[in-house]
């Protein structure tokens, strides 16, 4: 169990640091409206993960109970999706654009925006479906509890990383703008993480 929690924590940390719409949005809000705005946005984004974790826990638990072969098929599909994500990152530009004009909102509005962004993004549920099953440590045990433990771990680590981005927004943005090669490094790091997780999922 401990090994699985450490593995998902490390993978989540790297993915949270990798450039994406969520952390770029948090960064832009922090730059425009201040650190507290970035943290409010982060809280909303992370809160949405509770819903995805719940749907995943109860939905996949039934699948695991019904058929091990079907569950393995889901893992294969998840691994394939992660490889596809790696391909999309490979095809994308390594340039990190921080020029987005973030609208000014109060903290509650930012929280709600974060929740809605998370819940209305089908890629989040697909990602959870692809990401979490490979980290279960006892498929014959209480998978609902395991999914919640994994989900809480994912949310805590993501919140810490995103909040750190919000707090250090000024320094991070200045560094990214003056060190163009950082985008290339983060791009390939994200590719390697996606492929690494895909392999981890398929290993018995």
pLDDT of res. 42: 92
Q: Return d(Cα 118, Cα 124) in angstroms, integer.
A: 7
- pTM for the structure as a whole: 0.69
Task: Say what the pLDDT of residue 118 is.
Answer: 80
Query: What is the reported pLDDT for 175?
Result: 67
Cβ atoms 154, 49 nearer than 8 A = yes
* DSSP string computed for 106-154: -HHHHHHHHHHHHHT-HHHHHHHHHHSGGG-S-TTS-HHHHHHHHHHHH
pLDDT in tens, the chain (204 residues): 888 888 889 888 887 877 666 777 787 777 767 788 889 989 999 998 998 899 888 887 667 666 777 777 877 877 887 788 788 878 877 665 555 544 567 889 889 888 887 887 666 777 788 788 888 888 778 888 999 999 999 999 999 999 998 888 766 656 666 666 766 776 777 688 778 777 877 776
């Amino acid at each position: 169990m401990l090994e699985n929690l450490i593995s998902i924590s490390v993978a989540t940390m790297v993915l949270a640091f990798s450039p994406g719409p969520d952390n770029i949005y948090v960064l832009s809000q922090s730059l425009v409206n201040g650190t507290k705005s970035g943290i409010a946005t982060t809280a909303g984004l992370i809160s949405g993960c509770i819903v995805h974790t719940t749907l995943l826990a109860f939905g996949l638990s039934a699948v695991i109970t019904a058929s091990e072969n079907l569950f393995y098929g889901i893992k294969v599909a998840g691994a394939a999706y992660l490889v596809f994500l790696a391909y999309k990152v490979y095809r994308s530009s390594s340039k990190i654009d921080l020029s987005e004009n973030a609208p000014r909102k109060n903290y509650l509005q930012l929280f709600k925006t974060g929740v809605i962004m998370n819940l209305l993004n089908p890629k989040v549920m697909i990602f959870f479906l692809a990401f979490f099953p490979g980290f279960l440590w006892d498929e014959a045990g209480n998978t609902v509890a395991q999914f919640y433990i994994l989900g809480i771990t994912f949310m805590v680590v993501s919140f810490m990383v995103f909040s750190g981005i919000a707090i250090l927004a000024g320094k991070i943005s200045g560094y990214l703008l003056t060190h163009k090669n950082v985008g290339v490094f983060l791009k390939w790091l994200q590719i390697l993480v996606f492929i690494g997780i895909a392999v981890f999922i398929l290993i018995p």
